[in-house]
Every structure is written in structure tokens, then in C-alpha cells.
Amino acid sequence: LFMKYLTSIENNETLNNVALLLSRIIVGFSMLSHGYPKLEKLLAGGEIQFFNFLGLGSEFTLILVIIAEFVASIFLILGLFTRPAAFLNLFTMIIASFVIHAGDAFADREMSILYLIIFLLIFAFGPGSYSIDGMIEGRKNKSQW
């Protein structure tokens, strides 16, 4: 049965939901580890030296990145507003990979590209059933909203 599954194009709904849950949790906590130091930097006060995206200013750009890497990652872990949260992080990783690190060697861009792909997959496939979004959707379907 396992060998047949390995060579088929069939989907196992339970396995897909578990994989989405683990992906959301692991990538969410991983991204929190990048967002939290930025939040500390903002709260510490003092001069903000950060990338100035589209002339928005370093402090405002830092706030936008904190919203993506810290706040949206919490939503991702919970599976609440999953697609918008994944999109915010996806956009942040596009900028990190192809703007901020555009001239860097691939090895320096690799992590942001890997995050980008994971956020793209979560955005495309959604949160899965094991999420707050999934619970809300289940209740909507039961109550005929």
C-alpha cells in the first residue's frame, strides 16, 4: 500500500492536512525567530538603520516587515487568515530575495528563496482542515451561511 502511494498521483487528505499543519507551524515559528529581533530593535528606540523600501522610510519599512515576519507568522501558526498571512510573508521574501539580496551569491539568498517557496505553497493550498480557518469554514458549511 505504501509503495503504491509513493508511485501514484493520488492525494491522501489526512496526510495533506497534517503536512500543511506542520508546515505552517514550523515555518511560522522559524519566521518568528527573524521577526522578533526586528520588533525588539523597533521597541528599543534609537536610530533605525533598515532597508528603505520604495522611499517609505526605514522605520516604516521595518514596521511592515515586523507585521509580516512577526504578526502574520502568529496567524500562520494558528491557521487564522492563513492566505493573507502567507501572502504578506511571500511578498516580504520576494523583496528579500530579489531586491535586498539581488547582488548577493545564491548561498546568501537561498534561505529567503526557500521561505518564499514554502509561503507560496501555503498560499496556494491554504491552511488545511487542522486550522482555525478550517474550523470556521466547517461551521459556515454546517450553518449554511
Contacts of 96 (CB under 8 A, 6+ apart): 112
pLDDT of residue 70: 98
pLDDT of residue 145: 55
pLDDT of residue 141: 82
Mean pLDDT along residues 37-45: 94
pLDDT of residue 107: 94
Spatial distance between the Cα atoms of 17 and 14, rounded to a whole number of angstroms? 5
Q: pLDDT band at 144, cuts 50/70/90?
A: low
Residue written as grid cell 470556521 = 136
Q: Buried b / exposed e across 24-60, counting CB within 10 Å, b at 16+? A: beebbeebbebbeebbeebeeeeebebeebeeeeeee
Please write the tens of the pLDDT for every residue from 51-98. 998 899 999 999 999 999 999 999 999 999 999 999 999 999 999 999
Please write the tens of the pLDDT for every residue from 98-127. 999 999 999 999 999 999 999 999 999 999
Mean pLDDT along residues 15-23: 96
Q: Which three cell numbers stand for residue 127?
A: 491552511
CA–CA distance from 61 to each of 6, 49, 115 (Å)? 44, 10, 19
Give the phi and the psi of residue 143 in degrees, each rounded to 5: -95, 0
pLDDT of residue 138: 87
Mean pLDDT along residues 123-132: 96
pLDDT of residue 2: 79
Spatial distance between the Cα atoms of 133 and 138, rounded to a whole number of angstroms? 9
Residue written as grid cell 493573507 = 84
Q: pLDDT band at 4, cuts 50/70/90?
A: confident
